[in-house]
Amino acid sequence: MELKELRTQIDQIDDRLLQLLNERMSLVKEVGKFKTKNKVLVYQPDREKAILDRLGDLNDGLLNEQAIEAIFLEIFAVSRNIELPERIAYLGPEGSFTHQAAENRFGSMSEYLPLGSIQAVFETVDTHRANYGVVPIENNQQGVVNETIDYLVGSDLKIVAEIPMSIHFSFATKSEKLRDITKIYSKDIAFRQCKKFIDDLYGKNQVELIPVNSTSKAVEIALQDSKSAAICSHIAARQYNLPILFENIEDSRDNQTRFLILGREIIKEKSKKDKSTILVKLTNSNEPGKLASFLQDFHQANINLTKIESRPAKKGKNFNYVFFIDFDGHFLDEHVSEVLEKHKKEITLLGSYIKLC
């Protein structure tokens, strides 16, 4: 078939796609009216996941799972904005990995507020200046982000979803010749994680590695100096139109960060596979066996604990601790709700949400 004919057919399909998308949006608008009337939350991650799973099972064409997900996550984000414009606060700066995680989930139509600290993200959602907040909670190479746990302990915000994201670094530069590059800008940690790539490309001592505060800053500088490059997130390079020369230059492919989406209300709908997060403040926690007997109740109810972190309670003069616990199951599952009820004085439920990692 001739190119012209192929393109005519593509145009015809696009016309149909546009019409179908608009039809979809009319229905979404109705869903939005129902939600406003019945005070139901706009963002329903379990419904979105169910749609993705159903389409994945149905699919027998050229699109792979990631492609379907990317296209539909964008459609969902546009839909949610038609229901009610969404405003997302995240730990900035723009171009950070948290920004990338937020955009993956909320699409390019949402309004984004980059904030300077995890505390500011909590406050902004708490005071209704944003509908949701996105913060990192743990990295599989570097452990938990204590600041996020501490603010979860001190605030009324809830966890509405988790976003696991593989951390990939890009090498971006205006230079057309690699050997012209004399300086590379990035965060310290990024240099460590891309050491092999840099050594392979430049050998030892041939290029100056200059640490800066954020990878977005690195991009800004590299944009001014064509003899330099930045090691940064994909989104940061794209944002400043700095050409990416190499993608995924990190030494280890296992570098994953988990982010949390914070909201003001707990998601009540169950999905096929949920997890829950609770905070536990044991009364008289210094009594021997107190924690063990608490955990025993979970064990007896057949609840699988997947994480337990302890943080200082920061109240009173004793060494009291708050436990941050993740387990499989939804708070509405009978075996879970019984244990939560038994310990209701000690437990604060932070949320039940789809288990993605």
Ligand X SMILES: C=C(O[C@@H]1C=C(C(=O)O)C=C[C@H]1O)C(=O)O
Q: Tell which positions 67-126 bind ligand X, by CB under 6 A.
A: 76, 79-80, 83
- Comparison of 31 and 349: residue with beta carbon closer to ligand X: 31
Among 11, 31, 160, 313, binds ligand X (CB under 6 A): 31
Which helix (H) or strand (E) element contains residue 88? strand 87-91
Distance of closest approach, residue 59 Cβ to ligand X, in angstroms: 17
Q: How many residues bind ligand X (CB under 6 A)?
A: 12
**CB within 8 Å of 224: residues ≥ 6 apart:** none
CA pair distance 196, 202, nearest whole angstrom: 10
Distance of closest approach, residue 25 Cβ to ligand X, in angstroms: 9
Residue 44 binding ligand X, by CB under 6 A: yes
Residues 255 and 166: beta-carbon distance below 8 Å: yes
From the CB of residue 37, how many other CB atoms can be counted at a distance below 10 Å? 8
- Comparison of 42 and 149: residue with beta carbon closer to ligand X: 42
The residue number whose beta carbon is nearest to ligand X equals 79
Q: Tell which positions 135-194 bind ligand X, by CB under 6 A.
A: none
Interface stretch with ligand X, choices 12-20, 45-53, 145-153, 185-193 (CB under 6 A): 45-53
Distance of closest approach, residue 85 Cβ to ligand X, in angstroms: 13
- Comparison of 76 and 169: residue with beta carbon closer to ligand X: 76
CA pair distance 215, 242, nearest whole angstrom: 12
Distance of closest approach, residue 30 Cβ to ligand X, in angstroms: 9
Interface stretch with ligand X, choices 37-45, 159-167, 227-235, 257-265 (CB under 6 A): 37-45
Residue 47 binding ligand X, by CB under 6 A: yes
CA distances from 183 to 95, 228, 292 (A): 21, 5, 54
Residue 48 binding ligand X, by CB under 6 A: yes
Residue 63: exposure state from Cβ atoms within 10 A (0-12, 13-18, ≥19) = middle
Return the residue matching tokens 């995890």: 118
Which helix (H) or strand (E) element contains residue 237? helix 234-239
Residue 274: exposure state from Cβ atoms within 10 A (0-12, 13-18, ≥19) = buried
Residues of this chain that interact with ligand X (CB under 6 A) are: 28, 31, 42-44, 47-48, 51, 76, 79-80, 83
